């Protein structure tokens, strides 16, 4: 059996960034917490980035994750939105790197495939599977928070795959 690790999953956004903290040994996972930081599109981007950075640092300080799993930027037709998301990911990755935790990045399609079994799954399908896999029932769970928990579960499932491969060799 693999050692238990704490995973902080992050769903980056320039307006809302979701967080999901999961403890896993690769074969079973349990939710510790979920949250999000919400900013306003009317707030200047530098102030939003500062709020995101501070929220990530707070999550890291509170939970001391072994691993930080971050969703990658998706392809976007809106260049301005993609750039803002890139900036948000930049401050998230900076905070993660400063923590010394192991960092993993996953494409949205990879997260959906890992959690739902279908890379083209909808956000509602991801949320439903996250609820089921982590047994959170009817607890209030915002879309960005369920996505962040999905990112953390993606790491857990990848961890399980590597543990299974090691046990076969």
Strand ranges, E, within the chain: 5-11, 16-24, 29-38, 67-71, 102-106
Going from the C-alpha of 155 to that of each of 9, 20, 79, 146, 147, the distances in angstroms are 8, 12, 29, 14, 13
Q: Which residues are catalytic?
A: 11, 71, 144
Write the CB contacts of 113 (distance below 8 Å, at least 6 apart in sequence): 119, 121
Distance CA 169, CA 67 (A): 25
Q: Are the CB atoms for 36 and 146 separated by under 8 Å?
A: no
């Amino acid at each position: 059996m693999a050692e238990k690790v704490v995973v902080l999953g992050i769903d980056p956004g320039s307006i809302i960034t979701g967080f999901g903290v999961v403890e896993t040994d690769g074969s079973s996972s349990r939710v510790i917490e979920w949250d999000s930081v919400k900013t306003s599109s009317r707030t200047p981007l530098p102030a939003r980035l500062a709020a995101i950075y501070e929220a990530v640092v707070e999550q890291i300080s509170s939970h001391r994750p072994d691993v930080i799993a971050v969703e990658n930027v998706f392809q976007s037709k809106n260049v301005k939105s993609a750039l803002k998301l890139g900036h948000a990911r930049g401050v998230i990755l900076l905070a993660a790197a400063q923590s010394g935790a192991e960092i993993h990045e996953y494409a949205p399609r990879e997260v959906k495939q890992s959690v739902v079994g279908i890379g083209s799954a909808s956000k509602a399908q991801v949320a439903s599977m996250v609820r089921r896999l982590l047994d959170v029932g009817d607890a209030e769970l915002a879309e960005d928070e369920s996505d962040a928990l999905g990112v953390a579960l993606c790491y857990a499932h990848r961890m399980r795959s590597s543990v299974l491969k090691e046990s076969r060799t």
